[in-house]
Amino acid sequence: MIGTMQLPKPRGPLSAALCADLVGGRTLGAGTRSAADSLTAAGTDPLTDDDLQLSLAICYELHYRGFDEVDDDWEWDPELLRLRATLEERHLAALRALVGEVEVTGAPVDQQLTAVIAADDGPSLSAYLARHGTVERWREYLTLRSVYHLKEGDPHTWVIPRIGGRAKAAMVEIQADEYGGGAPGRMHSELFAGLMRDLDLDDGYGALWDLAPTVAFTSVNTMSLFGLHRRWRGACLGHLTAVEMTSSEPSRRYSVGLRRLGFSADTTVFYDEHVEADAVHEQIASVDMCGSLVAEDPTLTADVLFGAKCSLAMDGLAAEHLLGAWEAGRSGLRQDEAAAAA
């Protein structure tokens, strides 16, 4: 089937049992439920737990393109949804602990979003790659980001039927650009795939999941959680708005970094597109989309800000992971971490 992918390699007892059930059974077995209970009781940080995040990503992927060897009927299996809910609860609690208290003021929501972004002091991957990135480190960065960018637009698009009016119209305007304005070759996911090919990476959908570190799944799982739950529609819009408000200048730096290594505009087009598009999207997202949403329902303001803070926090986790690995002289990809541990 075109566009689907194979199940990834397990990263612990839960993902191993889950994959076995998805391929070989019609219901979740006792092994999966036992592994989920053990993982839930563990004291590890859910946001950095390889087994938990991969298991949650597998559950979510059934709502996207699915897996070659998994029956489509699993998508709405009640037991699987209960398992997913358990993992989501831990993930969400960890997000709240990470971003801290959300303070709502009387200012317009676009100004509050600007303040949230201004207060973020996370490390900058774009600055590092612009000045110091080697081809190999670029390949690692793109591998991590491929978990999201090869489905770019899709996690946020889930929210469109959950909102209405001006907010919905603004959301559709932004997402139409994400999908190339009707031109398949201009879809942002396709532009990213071209970038991957230029750096000799497999651009197949999900092809690099086994190499991607945990933080790649933590980020996309956060988007999927917000997009798939009507309860979190405000957070989904806030998350997308933070992406739009913070990507134009980093995209410019990413283009600079690739050109420094000798790549042409044919390669940098993915980032060049975001420099222009996201500069326009910033006002549409913060004023037209989020502003209209909270004007209709002010109780969603805190959720909008929470989603924005989560977006910034996920970028921070990815940057800390890669920069920390590179400063230590090792790869940020999972296979190298496993080799180092061995």
Beta-bridge mates of residue 67 = 5
Work out the mean pLDDT of the chain and round it to a whole number: 94
Q: What is the pLDDT of residue 265?
A: 96
Q: What is the pLDDT of residue 341?
A: 43
Residue with tokens 């600007």: 114
Contact 91, 46 (CB under 8 A): yes
Rounded distance between C-alpha atoms, residue 12 and residue 14, angstroms: 6
Cβ count within 10 A of residue 270: 24
Contact 332, 326 (CB under 8 A): yes
The segments of the chain whose pLDDT lies below 50 read 1, 337-338, 340-342
Measured distance between the N- and C-terminal CA atoms of the chain, rounded to whole angstroms: 37
DSSP state of 5: B
- In angstroms, how far is CA 26 from the centroid of its own chain? 29
Contact 291, 108 (CB under 8 A): yes
Q: What is the pLDDT of residue 2?
A: 54
Helix (H, G, I), strand (E, B) or coil at 67: strand
Rounded distance between C-alpha atoms, residue 243 and residue 290, angstroms: 13
